[in-house]
């Protein structure tokens, strides 16, 4: 997956996430996206508590999921996330893969926009606090970082 920041985690599909046929209910993939998104943002020290402390909330304003094949009870899946856009909004791409075979199960993305918590106004540019958190990851700042 392309992107400037990556995270992944393994999830074993629990019983409460499947329907009567043992297939993962489609809405649960959003929870898996959320779990890995938290891990991704924690890598740069800007998890949800840090967002709140900085005066911004970042609600999801768009989500897309494509279901390629099913996952089932007790199946181990690898959930991956990559930050691919950060100017004016955050776009994070996701993949859910079978942990054993690497076959794609689901893919998608979320888009989040910054909202100033004091004014409740949508920010049309990414707040400086976030840009500072990712500055060391940006290609123009990568020279000499090794």
The candidate with the shortest Cα–Cα distance to 110, out of 77, 81, 71, 132, is 81
Confidence band of 43 (pLDDT split at 50, 70, 90):
very high
Structure tokens at 87: 């100017």
pLDDT band for position 143 (50/70/90)?
very low
pLDDT over 70 for what percent of the chain?
96
- Give yes or no for a contact between 88 and 38, defined as CB atoms under 8 angstroms apart: no
State the Cα–Cα distance between residues 112 and 26, nearest whole angstrom. Answer: 21
How large is the average pLDDT for residues 84-107?
Answer: 97
Give the pLDDT confidence of 49-91 residue by residue, as tens digits: 999 999 999 999 999 999 999 999 999 999 999 999 999 999 9
Q: What local confidence, expressed as pLDDT, does residue 1 receive?
A: 87
pTM: 0.92
Instruction: Tell me if residue 143 falls in helix, strand or coil.
Output: coil
Structure token pair of residue 49 = 């508590």
Q: 3-state SS string over 22-64?
A: CEECCCHHHHHHHHHHHHHHHCCCCCHHHHHHHCEECCEEEEE
């Amino acid at each position: 997956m392309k992107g400037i920041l990556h995270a992944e985690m393994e999830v074993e599909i629990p019983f409460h996430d499947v329907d009567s046929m043992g297939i993962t209910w489609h809405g649960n993939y959003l929870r898996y996206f959320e779990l890995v998104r938290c891990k991704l943002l924690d890598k740069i020290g800007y998890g949800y508590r840090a967002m709140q402390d900085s005066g911004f909330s970042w609600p999801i304003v768009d989500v897309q999921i494509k279901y390629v094949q099913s996952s089932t009870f007790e199946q181990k899946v690898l959930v991956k996330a990559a930050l691919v856009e950060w100017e004016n909004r955050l776009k994070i791409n996701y993949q859910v893969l079978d942990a054993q075979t690497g076959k794609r199960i689901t893919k998608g993305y979320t888009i989040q926009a910054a909202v100033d918590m004091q004014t409740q106004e949508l920010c049309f540019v990414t707040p400086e606090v976030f840009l500072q958190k990712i500055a060391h990851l940006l290609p123009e700042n990568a020279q000499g970082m090794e």
